[in-house]
Structure 1
Amino acid sequence: MQKKNQSLPASIIASLRQRNNRPGTVSAGENGRSGGTLVASYNVHKCVGVDGRFDPGRIGQVIREIAPDVIALQEADKRFGARHGLLDLARLKDETGLVPVPVESTNAAAHGWHGNVVLFRQGLVRDVHQVSLPGLEPRGALVVDIDLESGAALRIVAAHLGLLRRSRSQQARMIIDLMRSRDERPTLLLGDLNEWRLGGRSALSALDAAFGAMPVPVPSFPAGLPLLALDRIIANRPEILSQVAVHDTPLARIASDHLPIKAFVDPAMAALPVSGPDFMIAPAEPPGPGRAALHAKETPLPLPASSPGGKGRAGSNRELVRKAGAQLKRAVKRTLRRSDAPTR
Structure 2
Amino acid sequence: MTARVRVVSYNIHSFKDDLGALATVVADLAPDVLVVQEGARRFRWRQKNAALADRLRMVVGGGGLWSLGNLVLTTLRVRVLETRDVRYRVLPGHHARGAVFATCAVPGARFVVTGSHLSTDPAVRPTQAAAWRTEMRAYDLPVVAAGDLNAEPGDPTWAAVADGLQIAGTAPTHPASGPRRAIDGVFVDKRVEVTRFQVVDTPTARRASDHLPIAVDLVIPDK
Instruction: Quickly name the TM-score band, shorter chain normalised.
Output: 0.7 to 0.9
The aligned residue for residue 225 of structure 1 is 178
Where does residue 264 of structure 1 map in the other structure? 217
C-alpha change, 1:133 and 1:119, in structure 2 (3 Å) is: same
The secondary structure found in structure 2 opposite 1:188 is strand
Letter of the structure 2 residue corresponding to residue 152 of structure 1: A
| Structure 1 contact 37–152 (Cα < 8 Å) conserved | no
Structure 1 residue matching 2:43: 3-state secondary structure: coil
Map of 1:118 onto structure 2: 72
How far, CA to CA, are the matches of 1:265 and 1:160 in structure 2? 22
Q: 1:87 to 1:57 in 2, by over 3 A?
A: farther
CA–CA distance in structure 2, aligned partners of residues 202 and 242 of structure 1: 26
In the alignment, does 2:54 pair up with 1:101?
no
Structure 1 contact 47–59 (Cα < 8 Å) conserved: no
Relative to 1, partners in 2 of residues 1:192 and 1:85: Cα closer, same or farther, differing over 3 Å? farther
Name 1:191's counterpart in structure 2. 147
User: For 2:122 and 2:52, how far apart are their aligned partners in 1?
Assistant: 37
Give the letter for the 1:89 counterpart: A
Specify the structure having the higher radius of gyration (Cα): 1
Structure 1: 4+ residue segments shifted above 4 A: 85-88
Q: 1:224 Cα deviation (Å)? A: 1.7
Letter matched to residue 134 of structure 1: R
Aligned pairs for 1:1-344 (under 5 A) are 36-49=4-17, 55-77=18-40, 82=43, 84=45, 87=48, 89-90=50-51, 92-93=53-54, 96-103=56-63, 113-122=67-76, 123-135=78-90, 136-149=94-107, 151-180=108-137, 182-198=138-154, 201-212=155-166, 214-237=167-190, 239-266=192-219, 269-272=220-223
Aligned residues: 217
Change (3 A) 1:235 1:68: same
Q: Residues of 2 paired with 1:129 and 1:155: CA distance?
A: 11
1:63 shift after superposition: 1.6
Amino acid at match of 2:212: L
1:89: how far off?
A: 3.1
What is residue 284 of structure 1 aligned with on the other side? none
Cα displacement (A) at 1:179 = 2.3
Q: CA deviation at 1:216?
A: 3.6
Change (3 A) 1:228 1:153: same
List per-residue Cα deviations over 1:261-285 (Å, max 9, x = no partner): 101011xx4223xxxxxxxxxxxxx
Q: Deviations over 1:166-191 (max 9, x none)?
A: 221111111222123x2311111111
| Shift in Å, 1:92 | 4.0
CA distance in 2, matches of 1:248, 1:262: 11
TM-score, normalised to structure 2, is: 0.85
Partner of 2:124: helix, strand, or coil?
Answer: helix
Deviation (angstroms), 1:116: 0.9
Deviation of 1:126 (Å) = 2.0
Which whole-Å CA distance do the structure 2 matches of 1:154 and 1:234 have between them?
A: 13
Letter in 2 for 1:226: P
Gaps of 5+ in 2: none
Change (3 A) 1:147 1:239: closer
Tell me the CA shift for residue 259 of structure 1: 0.5
TM-score by length of 1: 0.57
Indicate the percent of aligned positions where both proteins have the same amino acid: 28
SS state at 2:45 partner: coil
Secondary structure of 1:61's match? helix
Question: Structure 2 counterpart of 1:174, which letter?
Answer: A
With over 3 angstroms needed to count, the CA separation of the structure-2 counterparts of 1:152 and 1:97, relative to structure 1, is farther
Q: Which amino acid aligns with 2:70?
A: N
Instruction: State the secondary structure of the residue aligned to 1:128.
Output: strand
Q: Which runs of no fewer than 5 residues in structure 1 stay unpaired?
A: 1-34, 50-54, 104-109, 273-344
Cα deviation digits, residues 13-47 of structure 1 (max 9, x gap)? xxxxxxxxxxxxxxxxxxxxxx9311000000012
Residue deviations 1:89-116 (CA, integer Å, cap 9, x gap):
35743x654111145xxxxxx5773111
| Aligned-residue offset at 1:232 | 0.7
